């Protein structure tokens, strides 16, 4: 049976945008629960300035507090060398860098152009190679941007090539504002698959318009087998007006199963994780 991997991003990408300051113990409890669900990779930390993303200020404490499950890679976002050093000190298993395919979003998100952002990542990439740490790349706004409108598929392919050249083992393609359609996803994938094989890419599709699972299905037809999702549908992006949040891991699991494929995940634990995630959102 064909297997689809769900890369769980709820503890980082999901929780980073919650208004209530979620206690470290609650974050650890969520990660520990999800560690028993069958995920191979869980993104749990972001070493960014607490001034910009206060919710992630306790990332080192979360990494220190979790009970690490064998065979699970615990990932951290590292936008700069200070973040990389923090992630290494906290013993993150892998890191991620994030760029944009649109100039407007790059300026709004990290206050620099796409070219400048790629230059900033070079020392992180070099440090990751030396430390023998796996590095994943994220590309935001792969079909639509809240500032620039539609994104050129060729631009996405260009950024993907740059990140692959830097040493990223996988590129996560983000529909940041959730406006993509299967048709747009197909055009974008046709461009990026001219750069590398489907195994190099993951889909990260927000469910703002209720089409994330349809976009995942279109991507599966193109050969992609990895998709980012957040348990309980947690999170959005603070720099993307109108982004309602990630597609729920349990919804992706159910769609994959309906297609006659498997995720290797425990549906009951997913549901418990979704309930825990929703409670975090409601409390306070």
For tokens 């590095």, the residue is 135
Select which of 145, 168, 213, 237 is catalytic. Answer: 237
SS3 122: helix
Instruction: Tokens for 8, please give them.
Output: 């769980």
Q: How far apart are the first and last CA of the chain?
A: 43
Residues 206/176, Cβ–Cβ less than 8 Å = yes
Active site residue 237: yes
DSSP secondary structure of 9-55: -IIIIIGGG-SS---HHHHHHHHHHHTTTT-SEEEEEE-S-TTT-GG
SS3 245: coil
Residues that are catalytic: 237
């Amino acid at each position: 049976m064909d297997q689809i991997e769900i890369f769980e991003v709820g503890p980082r990408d999901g929780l980073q945008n919650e208004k209530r300051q979620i206690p470290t113990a609650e974050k650890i409890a969520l990660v520990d629960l999800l560690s028993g669900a069958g995920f191979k990779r869980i993104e749990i930390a972001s070493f960014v300035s607490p001034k910009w993303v206060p919710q992630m200020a306790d990332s080192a404490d979360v990494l220190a507090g979790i009970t690490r499950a064998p065979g699970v890679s615990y990932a951290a976002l590292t936008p700069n060398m200070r973040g990389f050093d923090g992630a290494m000190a906290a013993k993150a298993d892998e890191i991620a860098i994030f760029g944009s395919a649109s100039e407007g979003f790059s300026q709004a998100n990290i206050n620099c152009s796409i070219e400048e952002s790629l230059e900033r990542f070079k020392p992180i990439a070099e440090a990751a190679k030396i430390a023998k740490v796996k590095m994943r790349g994220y590309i935001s706004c792969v079909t639509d941007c809240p500032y620039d409108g539609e994104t050129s598929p060729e631009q996405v392919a260009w950024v993907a090539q740059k990140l692959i050249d830097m040493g990223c083992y996988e590129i996560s393609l983000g529909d940041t504002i959730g406006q993509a359609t299967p048709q747009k996803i197909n055009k974008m994938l046709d461009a990026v698959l001219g750069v590398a094989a489907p195994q190099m890419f993951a889909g990260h599709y927000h469910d703002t318009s209720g089409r994330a699972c349809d976009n995942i299905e279109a991507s599966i037809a193109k050969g992609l087998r990895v998709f980012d999702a957040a348990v309980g549908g947690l999170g959005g992006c603070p720099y993307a007006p109108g982004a309602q949040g990630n597609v729920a891991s349990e919804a992706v699991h159910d769609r994959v199963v309906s297609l006659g494929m498997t995720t290797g995940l425990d549906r009951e634990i997913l549901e418990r994780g979704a309930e825990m995630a929703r409670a975090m959102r409601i409390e306070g």
